[in-house]
Structure 1
Amino acid sequence: MSIKEQIHDLSDEMITNIGRLVAIDSQLGMPGEGKPFGEGPAEALKEGLKIAEELGFKTVNLDNYCGYAEMGEGEEIVGIAGHLDIVPVGGDWTYDPFKLTREGDYIYGRGTTDDKGPVIEALYAMKLLRDSGVKLNKRVRLIMGCNEETGSKCMEHYNEVEEELSCGFTPDANFPCIHGEKGHMSMVAYSKNTKIISMNGGFVSNAVCDACTTVIPAEAGLKEKLEEILAKTKLQEYQVTEENGTIRIYAKGVPAHASTPTLGVNAAGAIFESLEKAEFEDDFVKFYNNHIGTSCDGSGIGLKFEDEYGDLTLCNGIVKTENGVISCTIDIRVPVTLKAEDVRKMCEGKLEDENGRIEILEIGDPLFFPRESPLVNALYKAYVDVTGDTENEPMVIGGGTYAKSLKNIIAFGPEKLGIDYRIHSADEYMLVSGMEEAVLIYMEAIKNLLEI
């Protein structure tokens, strides 16, 4: 039986095990004793390690921060780092996000592609490699993290208590191979003065604000102006109602990951822009449109920049009102040739005026491995050998992965270019055919990494 046939025979078993993980709501929860990220992530880790044990692997739970399944012997470790936590469900789902639903080649559920499915793909790649009798001159360790989506504190703990990885990958991005990740910058914009009564939208900071509800004082003719202007936007849906001296605006945009905000439509941004065009005079409307806007390029705060590996992007994710103050989260992905201090100097003096202010929360340096490095070559070769695809080259992405938290690894699959798997959006899915191919690619990748 060929290796492809072996993988296909295990397909239903893999899907069942992915379903066991998808069934667990592993969003960040309230920390408890021995459960630093709450009940859900700890339960998902327990189930992930249980699946690994059922497949015959040695497992270790590292205080419910993360855990790992391991095979082989030796001083060096080939590491594979995936995560079992998820982002909030959000959006309008057609399927139950916590029940694996299959329709032909499609399998729907939160975490199917990001990142519970890939964890299982890597686990079965290890199993098939072990069962084939391949000589393991290094240990192969699959790390299952519980806090990738909200800070990667799980990998900070791993670095404190465990050995450094010799080489490896995280199956949490795209094929063919990621040799660079943009730096990450977090900001929050605050209103100083505003007539807006309330404005609330978005559900996570690392995705475009795809729905927003705003309440403002009514003005003569304003409702009609807004309806006319909103009709010309790229919003999927909008509604303007007037009663009791107020106007309520509901806007539905298009979701997108913060690393690719131009693929989405920012509902909050569309409302701010429309309010200004409708001549609604407001200090924070001016501030937002001048400093953030809908262009996604950071030009309003002096951050418009691009290099040979990509451009800087800006994403407004969450808008909320508390005690009369509107706040807007800002997620910026910084090109790999810029360091944190470069970015800070570029926006210095451009973050505040009489209408609002922007506070920098953190700036993280980018990750970059030269295209010619042995790690990049080993992984890219595995992809090409399995798929035959030589058109797509190793690339730099805006997203951030465990590669920034663990030494000597880069992101590698499982998403294929040109396919929207709806990660961080409603009806996230994976393809069964893609799952089977990914297992084979990961088998080849591990073999190549054993040789470097």
Structure 2
Amino acid sequence: MKEKIHALSEEMVANLGRLVAIDSQLGTPEEGKPFGEGPAKALSVGLQIAEEMGFRTVNLDNYCGYAEMGEGDEIVGIAGHLDIVPVGGDWSYNPFELTRKGDYVYGRGTTDDKGPVMEALYAMKLLRDSGVKLNKRVRLIMGCNEETGSRCMQHYNEVAEELSCGFTPDASFPCIHGEKGHMGMTVYSKNTKIIAMNGGFVSNAVCDNCTAVIPAEDGLKEKLEAAFANTKLQEYKVTEENGEIHIEAKGVPAHASTPTLGVNAAGVIFECLEQVGFEDDFVKFYNSHIGTSCDGVGVGLKCQDAYGELTLCNGIVKTEDGVISCTIDIRVPVTFKEEDIRSMCEGKLEDENGRIEINSIGNPLFFPRESPLVEALYKAYVDVTGDTENEPMVIGGGTYAKTLKNIIAFGPEKLGVDYRIHGSDEYILVSEMEEAVLIYMEAIKNLLAI
């Protein structure tokens, strides 16, 4: 089977290129296109590729669509997404043109999540062509709004059939049996001398670039330069003119589920401003409530359970009408409930220098390790790779598994590898795509047998 998969890999990569060429980030809604032009176009092309491969396809009002094979009342579902996060950052390659360098294929969406959608589609094709008896329908759902709310899958739940079991190829191998809860907050300044501060481009990634303008003070420029020299910023620049100091800071990008892997440029600026004696109400508030520790200790949320600890990420900072606001993305350990979190931070979200609003708290997802779904998927991974060291795990990221019933996240990323999914030069490996196709074929067979 590996030879058959390898023989199709050029075709698979070419079809991935058709999807990568489409800028499918959230656009302006219009009639019949709830997420704008780009996601609708990506869905159209994704379904067209599936039709070319001989699958039945259905478009569910441009929220999502699916390709299907087999017969029966039960459905083995695979849910991937075709929407992307904004490009951001400094790319070495055109993010909307697939660039291949040996085993590496670069482009926005290659790993998150257009590549995995293609892997699942080719797994279905090869399984069908091998003559395996399909006692259930196998349905690949292509969503258009995973990165900005998963409203596509809410629509699926309203208009289409419930899945019997399945997976979303939008995380890591070997298998994800739990996803932390999600909490969104916004921090607001009350009084600040900071003239302007702006940074970050999405709320679910570390603010890795930030600019600030503050009133000049004697010796402040030199003190700031000395302070920035002792940080983990990749680059910084401090200039002074017309009574103002302009700061440019470049940190390190990271996904909001793993913020400790990044460097928050805004957080470093706030930290350094306090270090050099820049007296400001909001600087005090940010440093005491948010800071650069990523653990929520400043708002009373530092906690953990057997499956992981709470993480806090500042994604976007902006200034409007003299008020600075900061988006905060928190991932809550799976055994903590909404009421636990609310009581932990009660009374710690506001003082005379600033305030924090809770925008949303989403529940976690958890399947016991010994559940048939987890066992079926994990077995497929082990049978193909031989890897028994890595066990099913709980992650901080959120996937379609929280919106669709009876599915969990399953691959295709390898642990410990940074595919730069929300950063510049996102990539996928062709050899890993081929292996993932084989793993997904085994997974579908196992799910057909449940």
TM-score category, normalised to shorter length = over 0.9
**In structure 1, what residue type is equivalent to 2:58?**
V
Shift of 1:298: 0.1
Shift of 1:174: 0.1
Partner of 2:184: 186
Partner of 1:228: 226
Q: Write the mapping of 1:294-309 to structure 2, written as runs, cut at 5 A.
A: 294-309=292-307
Shift of 1:218: 0.2
1:33 maps to 2:31:
yes
Partner of 1:321: 319
1:385 maps to 2:348:
no
Whole-angstrom CA distance in 2 between matches of 1:139 and 1:235: 51
Partner of 1:252: 250
Secondary structure of the structure 1 residue equivalent to 2:155: helix
Match of 1:212 among 201, 210, 218: 210
Deviations 1:251-276 (A, max 9, x none): 00000000000000000000000000
1:143 maps to 2:114:
no
Match of 1:339 among 332, 337, 340: 337
Q: Which structure 2 segments of 5+ residues have no match?
A: none
Whole-angstrom CA distance in 2 between matches of 1:111 and 1:218: 43
Whole-angstrom CA distance in 1 between matches of 2:343 and 2:35: 35
Partner of 2:60: 62
Whole-angstrom CA distance in 2 between matches of 1:332 and 1:211: 20
Q: Write the mapping of 1:146-295 to structure 2, written as runs, cut at 5 A.
A: 146-295=144-293
Whole-angstrom CA distance in 1 between matches of 2:266 and 2:376: 44
Whole-angstrom CA distance in 2 between matches of 1:344 and 1:24: 41
Deviations 1:27-47 (A, max 9, x none): 000000000000000000000
Task: Work out the number of aligned pairs and report it.
Answer: 450
Whole-angstrom CA distance in 2 between matches of 1:112 and 1:343: 36
Q: Write the mapping of 1:59-138 to structure 2, written as runs, cut at 5 A.
A: 59-138=57-136
**In structure 1, what residue type is equivalent to 2:222?**
E
Secondary structure of the structure 2 residue equivalent to 1:275: helix
Shift of 1:158: 0.2
Secondary structure of the structure 2 residue equivalent to 1:102: strand
Q: Write the mapping of 1:345-356 to structure 2, written as runs, cut at 5 A.
A: 345-356=343-354
**In structure 2, what residue type is equivalent to 1:74?**
G
Whole-angstrom CA distance in 2 between matches of 1:418 and 1:215: 38
Partner of 1:416: 414
**In structure 2, what residue type is equivalent to 1:178?**
I
Deviations 1:328-358 (A, max 9, x none): 0000000001011111111011000000000
Partner of 1:364: 362
Deviations 1:28-75 (A, max 9, x none): 000000000000000000000000000000000000000000000001
Partner of 2:392: 394
**In structure 1, what residue type is equivalent to 2:369?**
R
**In structure 2, what residue type is equivalent to 1:222?**
L
Partner of 1:433: 431
Identity of aligned residues (%): 85
**In structure 1, what residue type is equivalent to 2:386?**
G
Shift of 1:306: 0.7
**In structure 2, what residue type is equivalent to 1:435?**
M
Deviations 1:4-38 (A, max 9, x none): 00000000000000000000000000000000000
Shift of 1:97: 0.1
Q: Which structure 1 segments of 5+ residues have no match?
A: none
Secondary structure of the structure 1 residue equivalent to 2:48: helix
Partner of 2:44: 46
Whole-angstrom CA distance in 1 between matches of 2:243 and 2:57: 62
Shift of 1:418: 1.3
1:8 maps to 2:25:
no
Secondary structure of the structure 2 residue equivalent to 1:48: helix
Whole-angstrom CA distance in 1 between matches of 2:339 and 2:447: 35
**In structure 1, what residue type is equivalent to 2:430?**
V
**In structure 2, what residue type is equivalent to 1:380?**
Y
TM-score by length of 1: 0.99
Shift of 1:123: 0.2
Whole-angstrom CA distance in 2 between matches of 1:396 and 1:410: 11
Deviations 1:373-432 (A, max 9, x none): 000000000000000000000000000000000000000000000111000000000000
1:403 maps to 2:406:
no
Secondary structure of the structure 1 residue equivalent to 2:132: coil
Secondary structure of the structure 1 residue equivalent to 2:16: helix
Runs of 4 or more above 6 Å deviation? none
Secondary structure of the structure 1 residue equivalent to 2:408: strand
Secondary structure of the structure 2 residue equivalent to 1:11: helix
